[in-house]
Structure 1
């Protein structure tokens, strides 16, 4: 599978001031695969070590953090030396051994010529829990976020390379040819079913069997819950599970606001806030806060007590919600609410994967609500999300009348369009092109 992170790793490999790299991302988003694939293509040798499967590794880092000794001990375990410049050292599931994370500082300072790549599924949690005697190597490592496949990567996985190149090279003032819109809409709906987990996508492409897809998705969700047991404290686990399982129902409410009291009767915010932060740190969920005043910098106006929670992968949200795959293409009112939620989740993950600053949403009393507010430079841009072609909505109108943004974005299944009025410009962009939003802005 073509993953865009590969190009980032190439730049890291050849960088003049290269530091050890840490790839952070949810479990099963492809971290191990990309490192091994990259290593096989770009290095003569790969030294792969997994802390989850080999408990001898932690003992190597229990003593001093002398990099020469560590390299020798690792060489003995694999019965082959590590050669700086030609060997890629991969330390997988490194969150299990905090001292191994700390050791990256000394590899950076004392053995910078050795290429070291670490990966971890719960690094955010591990870093937050590192004790006083164990420090994170701030400034001594390069952090790279990895996500499930986004929509353009999904197209490439489907062997639609020419279609991807066509879209990639499409000028912002060009319309998408009507010849391709049907195929793109179909691919978009498929993505709502599968999401971007590589194993799920691979299965769908080769088998085209919804039953197998959903079995894999269920397995991934089960793995996440097992992680709650494995990595959280005994007291934390039941609360993590409660929050995790409550998310689809909370999104299905009229205002979608996450309410702690609805997770379980008798529990309050102070009982669950740490567990919610754990899930956010693990990268499993995204928190989207409300703002009422969309001023710069947007982040300072977020309301941390009024927020929505979405999944890191839209396919897992669909499966968790038990929303049947065969009605994704249904446009009746009976499925409109859930399709709207999935569409919002899709747009959010596309924005995050394409390096936009943390999105917020705007709500003005009970009058109007705009799905996402992003800051791009000094511009604050509202984004309204629609799951089909019907795009009439009072909320964006109210927002534009009140704040006159330089540009407002509406994303739906309608074709590209641009118009202006006394309140500024409106950009209509298809959902399957939201990954190109920076170019259009």
Structure 2
């Protein structure tokens, strides 16, 4: 399939240009495109690429048996495969599926000190064993967290140039509505993205064929692979409980109150028995956790209730794959999201925020209907973010913005199917611009986006 350009491509080029570069560890969930991106980069930058896959060829797990020094590693690899060429200054050693042999992390220090060869490691479940990897290589590595494709990368895959996001951002900064053509094109493309998710194999098939044919089967196979990962890597934990949590995510997101309730997972289920299961899924990269704030105020970190949270998939394509057949068919054929409309749009916006680097927070006031989907921040302000699946007023958002009880909040942001607008301390933007929110708020902090806030409360 066609290689799809990714943002990691830029990072890898920058890493290569650093004369003081350290071994690189690319972390991320299964099937987000780590191996393909590293191979693409390697083929363009090195005369010799030594790829070691600890899953496909377990013999290489023995390369550390005689020591972790560079000479010992090179000698052991050469014994297994004498055809591999180690050219000082022009060789990349690529250790793939590192989670199968985390002990290789100890060798990174010695390969770094030796300096003859560049080293990149990659794996799909590294978060689960990362404490061991970290302790064995601290100070001698660089980390990069890779996710599935965001909407900007999806637009590149569809043939749009790199300036498309900048032009979108200009609209947001100046609060200038998109044209009718722009709204139609971007909204349609975004719904395709919601349907497909951002897994490169799925997107590549869609781009090459021009249809959704076969994409649902790919998504469902990925769900099966994730379930297999849970069985394989959840050592010392109750795998059945982790699978129960994983399987209940779509059901609980479809409810009006999207808070994840452990009591709904199994009869007699108690939170203390499942806390580790939720943490395991988060560390694995399979899900994003959105935590409930104690109160809508700064700072955000530490200001949340450990026992209250929502769970979204790390890639919304997983949610689509787990819908029932009727809902999935309706989505692809008729663009109808049914009861999952709110779940899908809230998930995709949460995913966009997470991929931008935000931690996810929401707020639900006890004994009240006040509930807010997400919160982010500017340099000095707390910003509530609403995702409207249907037309109507954002009552909770307006309350947070207008009430003197929340002094850290000066304005709010609402994502909907509508166009750009700004009034009464509320900035409205289309769903498809959610990936640009961090850049918009940075422009606000720099004084370049004055229209999203009126200083008079």
TM-score w.r.t. structure 1 length? 0.91
1:228-255 alpha-carbon deviations (Å, 9 max, x no partner): 2222237522122111111111222332
The offset of 1:398, in angstroms, is: 1.5
What is the alpha-carbon distance in structure 2 between the residues aligned to residue 283 and residue 231 of structure 1? 13
1:317-360 alpha-carbon deviations (Å, 9 max, x no partner): 1111233253368688xx5541111111101111111223x020
Whether the aligned pair in 2 keeps the contact of 1:193 and 1:325 (CA below 8 Å) is no
Indicate the residue corresponding to 2:55 in structure 1: 52
What is the alpha-carbon distance in structure 2 between the residues aligned to residue 62 and residue 297 of structure 1? 48
Indicate the residue corresponding to 1:62 in structure 2: 65
Q: Go from structure 1 to structure 2 and tell me whether the alpha carbon gap of 1:104 and 1:377 turns closer, same or farther (over 3 Å shift).
A: farther
Q: 1:361 aligned to 2:362?
A: yes
Larger mean Cα displacement after TM superposition, 306-315 or 163-172 = 163-172
Indicate the residue corresponding to 1:342 in structure 2: 344
Whether the aligned pair in 1 keeps the contact of 2:49 and 2:92 (CA below 8 Å) is yes
Whether the aligned pair in 2 keeps the contact of 1:87 and 1:115 (CA below 8 Å) is yes
Counterpart pick for 1:326 among 303, 326, 330: 330
What is the alpha-carbon distance in structure 2 between the residues aligned to residue 105 and residue 407 of structure 1? 48
Indicate the residue corresponding to 1:81 in structure 2: 85
**SS of residue paired to 2:170:** coil
What is the alpha-carbon distance in structure 1 between the residues aligned to residue 206 and residue 283 of structure 2? 29
1:165-209 alpha-carbon deviations (Å, 9 max, x no partner): 663673521433322210111001101110001111111222244
Indicate the residue corresponding to 1:157 in structure 2: 157
Whether the aligned pair in 1 keeps the contact of 2:149 and 2:198 (CA below 8 Å) is yes
What is the alpha-carbon distance in structure 1 between the residues aligned to residue 152 and residue 59 of structure 2? 40
Whether the aligned pair in 1 keeps the contact of 2:169 and 2:436 (CA below 8 Å) is no
Indicate the residue corresponding to 1:8 in structure 2: 11
Indicate the residue corresponding to 2:455 in structure 1: none
**SS of residue paired to 1:403:** coil
Whether the aligned pair in 1 keeps the contact of 2:152 and 2:165 (CA below 8 Å) is no
**SS of residue paired to 2:137:** coil
Whether the aligned pair in 2 keeps the contact of 1:247 and 1:309 (CA below 8 Å) is yes
What is the alpha-carbon distance in structure 1 between the residues aligned to residue 284 and residue 231 of structure 2? 14
**SS of residue paired to 1:343:** helix
What is the alpha-carbon distance in structure 2 between the residues aligned to residue 107 and residue 303 of structure 1? 43
Q: How many aligned positions are there?
A: 429
Gaps of 5+ in 2: 442-457
Whether the aligned pair in 2 keeps the contact of 1:250 and 1:257 (CA below 8 Å) is yes
Indicate the residue corresponding to 2:258 in structure 1: 256
What is the alpha-carbon distance in structure 2 between the residues aligned to residue 376 and residue 112 of structure 1? 42
Indicate the residue corresponding to 1:217 in structure 2: 219
Indicate the residue corresponding to 1:92 in structure 2: 96
Counterpart pick for 2:248 among 246, 249, 252: 246
Whether the aligned pair in 2 keeps the contact of 1:72 and 1:81 (CA below 8 Å) is no
Q: Go from structure 1 to structure 2 and tell me whether the alpha carbon gap of 1:350 and 1:235 turns closer, same or farther (over 3 Å shift).
A: closer
CA RMSD of aligned residues (A): 2.2
Counterpart pick for 1:374 among 370, 376, 387: 376
The offset of 1:382, in angstroms, is: 0.8
What is the alpha-carbon distance in structure 1 between the residues aligned to residue 65 and residue 264 of structure 2? 44
Whether the aligned pair in 1 keeps the contact of 2:168 and 2:433 (CA below 8 Å) is no
Q: Go from structure 1 to structure 2 and tell me whether the alpha carbon gap of 1:178 and 1:121 turns closer, same or farther (over 3 Å shift).
A: same
Whether the aligned pair in 1 keeps the contact of 2:195 and 2:332 (CA below 8 Å) is yes
Whether the aligned pair in 2 keeps the contact of 1:379 and 1:406 (CA below 8 Å) is yes
Q: Go from structure 1 to structure 2 and tell me whether the alpha carbon gap of 1:380 and 1:325 turns closer, same or farther (over 3 Å shift).
A: farther
Indicate the residue corresponding to 1:383 in structure 2: 385
**SS of residue paired to 1:29:** coil
Q: Go from structure 1 to structure 2 and tell me whether the alpha carbon gap of 1:270 and 1:69 turns closer, same or farther (over 3 Å shift).
A: same
Whether the aligned pair in 2 keeps the contact of 1:408 and 1:427 (CA below 8 Å) is yes
**SS of residue paired to 1:90:** strand
Whether the aligned pair in 2 keeps the contact of 1:391 and 1:412 (CA below 8 Å) is no
Indicate the residue corresponding to 1:412 in structure 2: 416
**SS of residue paired to 1:321:** coil
Whether the aligned pair in 2 keeps the contact of 1:192 and 1:328 (CA below 8 Å) is no
What is the alpha-carbon distance in structure 2 between the residues aligned to residue 283 and residue 192 of structure 1? 19
1:56-92 alpha-carbon deviations (Å, 9 max, x no partner): 1111123421122112222343422322321111110
The offset of 1:384, in angstroms, is: 0.4
What is the alpha-carbon distance in structure 1 between the residues aligned to residue 11 and residue 129 of structure 2? 24
Counterpart pick for 2:42 among 32, 39, 43: 39
Whether the aligned pair in 1 keeps the contact of 2:109 and 2:140 (CA below 8 Å) is yes
What is the alpha-carbon distance in structure 2 between the residues aligned to residue 166 and residue 98 of structure 1? 40
Indicate the residue corresponding to 2:147 in structure 1: 147
Q: Go from structure 1 to structure 2 and tell me whether the alpha carbon gap of 1:112 and 1:428 turns closer, same or farther (over 3 Å shift).
A: farther
The offset of 1:124, in angstroms, is: 0.4
Indicate the residue corresponding to 1:103 in structure 2: 107
Gaps of 5+ in 1: none
